[in-house]
Structure 1
């Protein structure tokens, strides 16, 4: 992908797949930043219309295929244990933000994610062969995502990492993260996203950009 194919007129359209804890929060902060947002669960959008109106007012509940069809960024916010059954064709040709974590105490042992040669988002990318995967939003709690937003230049503005193999995709996603209220630290390959995983040096840590970068460098030494 190139920047020209990724950047639409106006702000990118967001499709959030997942209406549990994380999805509605992501929808809310994206809407607050001015993005048009659709949200979808695994079935009929009427089933999530009430929860959407309460938890993500302004988001449009839609069938997943319809939400993805006109989205510029698809945010995958489903429970990780459901990913093995996820239809990869649904997001073929799309930029997908992977917000999931592999946490066996919560999800149980998932055979797909037990291959220690790869980080969890690398495994997601290997499954979603027709998509471009970017890793972010997995290392901040959904309950913090709304509360910790700050304006650009704020001394206590928190940083989030954005990792991916496609520079244009990383740029577009980083701009989204910055608009919703965070500084970004961009990593130029999806493999580096392992640093964002549970047990990694920045997982769950409210760090400034400088401290975030330092934590990554220190861990690599």
Structure 2
């Protein structure tokens, strides 16, 4: 598929996604009041508080995933098949659409674009790429699951539900690319048949090795 068609499809994904949650941009543009008693460490990026902070948290994770898959496609691992490339390009396009949506919805409340660090990933090696993809996708699913209970605005909760279902599809695909039939094994789904859940601090600690930017979540809601 040529680049024009790919870009057109990516634009279509973003347009449809935006139309599906009309009004969220306006809601997200209300700035949080500054809290002088709770300031981030110097040089770190404050995600903010309340629902805006949760949206920025999601925006940060989508930035990380989008940057990773962009690099995967820009420098394909040795032996990447045409089918693998097509599937990984689809995931890349989804993550870019998610990232761009959050940036647009947050407006002036959006955190800056983050600096990533993928030095621990060997992009020429299939196992290294897919194991990192598995980490990101599993982390993304657990992050949205953990953040859902912290969201106050029903529109944002609906948005999280739409995205986490896509991230779960990615996670299932990556797991099957690594080992067919493992898409819902015990490391992804618990004994009650539910996806795993992680709170923002746990997720951000796991993401930190892949980021040069320092993220501070001290103002995020925790209950």
Larger Rg computed on CA atoms: 2
Give 1 or 2: higher strand fraction. Answer: 1
Q: TM-score, normalised by structure 1?
A: 0.27
Give 1 or 2: higher helix fraction. Answer: 2
Q: TM-score, normalised by structure 2?
A: 0.27
